[in-house]
Amino acid sequence: MNKNELKTAASLIIDWYKDARRNLPWRANATPYHVWLSETMLQQTRIETVIPYYERFLAQLPTIESLAAVDDEKLMKLWEGLGYYSRARNLKKAAQTVVASYDGVLPKTAQELQKLPGIGEYTAGAIASIAFGQPEPAVDGNVLRVIMRLTACDEDIAQPKVKKEVTQLLREIYPSGKDASNLTQGIMELGEVICIPNGEPKCAVCPLNSICCAHLNKETERYPVRSEKKKRKIEKRTVFMLFCGNKIALHRRTNSGLLAGMWEFPNTEGHLTKQQADAFLARTDLGVLSCEPCGKTKHIFTHIEWHMLGYQVKCQTESPQFEWKTAEEILHSYALPSAFRFYRKQLEESPVI
């Protein structure tokens, strides 16, 4: 597909988007801060999940300045359950840089935006085009799928060079101003609701069906080509819900690696039988009174699966290696990763054993 054909496709997408766009909260007032926040939250996360988080976050932190100054625990609590917590930490770091170096105003160009923590090529392109009307594409999986089907391209989208090639191809024909915003949002929208990743694409209502090579050749199922993902590593873990009186033990993870710096229920590697769990706990200073199984669960990260089994443990002593908090304190003030949602729910239903 040559540049003129791609320009035609862009024009069709823009016209379609003006009429078909969904009413999403970040589109109602697309300030740079709102675009940045929404695009960060939407990474690896469904729109339906993001909306209440976005609205609650903005109600508490309506400006870049308030984000820069927020307490870390409050920030994590606002993000609790959304996952990929480094996104929240980078938002705050970037906000502090914007306040210190840019007078509280996000820079307009993708190049400057990418200097901020947590803002990569995609997010920079989205902010630059949507909020500032810059002729800068934002290429994610939705955009790649649309372009690969449009052009019937056999290249493997898992290869970084393919994303770079598509980005450059789009950059050469990208419009400026309001049309830049409409094209960026329009091509994303097309990939989310019509040129969908799972199931049959809705070609009958697609604005590109008259020029889409995959559709015209009846080969939409062939594209995009993607090499198989590596299988996730499975890790078994045993989780302990340690109760002492009306307090429950929390542990803070180290500041590097998976779930860096997050609070968690104490846990250890492997699946311990009841006998093994009793022996493990006997070596601690907790003064264990009872230990009972409290269920199994699984949590999927990007590259790892945690297969967990848990025990509720009644203790005599609050060991100093943990923080001991009431169920109410944990539920209202401490952010626990969604990996522990199954066990956290037990606090909501029965806060003390």
Amino acid at 8: T
In the three-class reduction of DSSP (H, G, I as helix; E, B as strand; rest coil), residue 142 is classed as helix
Amino acid at 162: V
d(CA 77, CA 125): 29
Give catalytic residues, as residue numbers.
39
Phi, psi angle pair for 233, to nearest 5°? -75, 135
d(CA 216, CA 209): 7
Beta strands at 304-315 and 233-244: parallel, antiparallel or unpaired: parallel
For helices 178-193 and 141-151, angle between their N-to-C axes, nearest 10 degrees: 80
Q: Are 28 and 34 in contact (CB under 8 A)?
A: no
d(CA 47, CA 196): 14
Whose CA is closest to 280, among 248, 251, 246, 237? 237
In the three-class reduction of DSSP (H, G, I as helix; E, B as strand; rest coil), residue 251 is classed as strand
d(CA 145, CA 208): 13
Interior/surface letters 131-169, b for 16+ CB within 10 angstroms, e for the rest: bbbbbbbbbbebbbbbbbbbbbbebebeeeebbeebbeb
Q: Per the structure block, which two tokens stand in for 327?
A: 């169920």
Which residue is listed with tokens 């939409």? 220
Phi, psi angle pair for 22, to nearest 5°? -80, 155
Burial (CB count <10 Å: 0-12, 13-18, 19+), residue 87: middle
